[in-house]
């Protein structure tokens, strides 16, 4: 019979054996969401950008992470008014819908922008939805969309470690989606992004320079694995609203991720939102205090 383990740590245990993490002086504040398949733990409250998106990978006993870099998140929404890009940073008001869906609003005198990120349970993906409303008395010419900067692909158990391989990004005409595919011989994971069918992505990848400038003032960031941009031009009449849904989907490889985008489009962003809201509402706790915090903790523990 094995010896009974001590019920508490002995007082005489050397301090250098303990694995106590360092406390962060200034922890970053993020919004988060996800479902059983995708986790979005770093939604930037300043820019509404996604710094990372990860998937649970049973074969590697950890998470596989698609990541941008600090100055350029993996995915960021943008807005142009009359051809001029307007800064969204530090002008967003946030809330959680149904305790789990991050939502923001941005307003100027005659224009409102609303954003929502929802991932219905049971689906290998979800929606990043933008809604624009013209509250003024004249027609507005707008352009709205998303920019992507795929900088790294990591394996995470406690600390992230870069996974090298034959990573690629391409626009798939068959599914009308941008595919990010990570491979190390065999496929590891793929992420697909698609606006309404027929809206293409402009992809640009910057190769590393052959020679660094000398002397270099500071180390240059590594070139992205892929940079891309997709948008829709809108002409909004007074009182008119338009919705721009971006579908995101994950799978083992690119074909599976792309066809999942097709499946999400067939459901439609409105039906996927109704499905998400109904699922969360049915399982929300009714409490006298701390209702939102308790339910967000409940959904976090369920999905994460």
Contacts (Cβ under 8 Å, ≥6 apart) of 108: 86
Predicted model pTM: 0.88
The rounded distance, in Å, linking the Cα atoms of 216 and 235 is 46
Q: Look at residue 181 and give its three-state secondary structure.
A: strand
Sheet containing 226-236: order of strands? 84-85, 75-81, 140-150, 226-236, 202-204
Q: Find out whether 206 and 159 touch, Cβ atoms under 8 Å.
A: no
Of 236, 231, 242, nearest to 130 (Cα)? 242
Q: Give the number of other Cβ atoms within 10 Å of residue 144's Cβ.
A: 20
pLDDT in tens, 112-150: 999 999 999 999 999 999 999 999 999 999 999 999 999
Kindly state the tokens that stand for 182. Answer: 């990570």
Residue 156 CB-density burial (10 A; 0-12 exposed, 13-18 middle, 19+ buried):
middle
Q: What is the mean pLDDT of the chain?
A: 89
Q: Find out whether 249 and 125 touch, Cβ atoms under 8 Å.
A: yes
Of 280, 234, 205, nearest to 133 (Cα)? 234
Q: Give the number of other Cβ atoms within 10 Å of residue 277's Cβ.
A: 16
Q: Look at residue 275 and give its three-state secondary structure.
A: helix
**At residue 186, what are phi and psi to the nearest 5 degrees?**
-80, 160
Q: Look at residue 263 and give its three-state secondary structure.
A: helix
pLDDT in tens, 179-215: 999 998 899 999 999 998 889 999 986 443 334 444 4
> Is the confidence at residue 13, as pLDDT, over 80?
no
Residue 196 CB-density burial (10 A; 0-12 exposed, 13-18 middle, 19+ buried):
middle
In a 13 Å sphere around the CA of 25, the CA atoms on its Cβ side amount to 0
Helices (H), the chain: 254-267, 269-283, 291-303
Contacts (Cβ under 8 Å, ≥6 apart) of 258: 172, 174, 175, 177, 179, 192, 194, 249
pLDDT in tens, 151-172: 999 999 988 999 998 999 999 9
Q: Per-residue confidence at 218, pLDDT binned at 50, 70, 90?
A: low
Range of weakest confidence among 20-24, 99-103, 185-189, 277-281: 20-24
Q: Find out whether 35 and 303 touch, Cβ atoms under 8 Å.
A: yes
23 or 55, which is more confident:
55
267 or 25, which is more confident:
267
């Amino acid at each position: 019979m094995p010896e009974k383990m001590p019920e508490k740590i002995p007082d005489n245990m050397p301090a250098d054996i303990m694995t106590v993490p360092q406390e962060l002086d200034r922890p970053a504040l993020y919004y988060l969401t996800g479902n059983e398949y995708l986790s979005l733990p770093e939604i930037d409250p300043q820019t509404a950008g996604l710094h990372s998106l990860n998937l649970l990978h049973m074969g590697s006993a950890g998470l596989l992470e698609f990541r941008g870099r600090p100055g350029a998140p993996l995915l960021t929404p943008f807005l142009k008014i009359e051809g001029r890009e307007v800064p969204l940073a530090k002008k967003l008001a946030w809330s959680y819908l149904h305790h789990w869906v991050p939502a923001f609003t941005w307003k100027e005198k005659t224009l409102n922008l609303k954003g929502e990120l929802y991932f219905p349970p049971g689906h290998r993906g979800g929606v990043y939805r933008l809604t624009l409303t013209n509250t003024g008395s004249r027609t507005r010419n707008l352009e709205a969309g998303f920019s992507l900067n795929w900088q790294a692909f990591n394996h995470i158990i406690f600390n992230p470690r870069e996974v090298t391989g034959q990573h690629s990004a391409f626009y798939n005409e068959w599914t009308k989606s941008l595919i990010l595919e990570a491979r190390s011989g065999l496929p590891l994971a793929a992420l697909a992004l698609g606006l309404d069918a027929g809206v293409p992505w402009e992809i640009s990848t910057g190769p590393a320079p052959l020679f660094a400038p000398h002397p270099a003032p500071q180390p240059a960031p590594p070139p992205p694995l892929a940079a891309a941009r997709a948008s829709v031009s809108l002409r909004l009449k007074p009182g008119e609203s338009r919705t721009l849904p971006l579908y995101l989907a994950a799978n083992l490889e690119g074909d599976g991720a792309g066809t999942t985008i097709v499946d999400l489009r067939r459901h439609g962003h409105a039906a996927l939102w109704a499905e998400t809201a109904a699922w969360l509402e049915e399982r929300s706790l009714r409490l006298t205090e701390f209702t939102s915090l308790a339910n967000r903790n409940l959904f976090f523990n369920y999905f994460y």
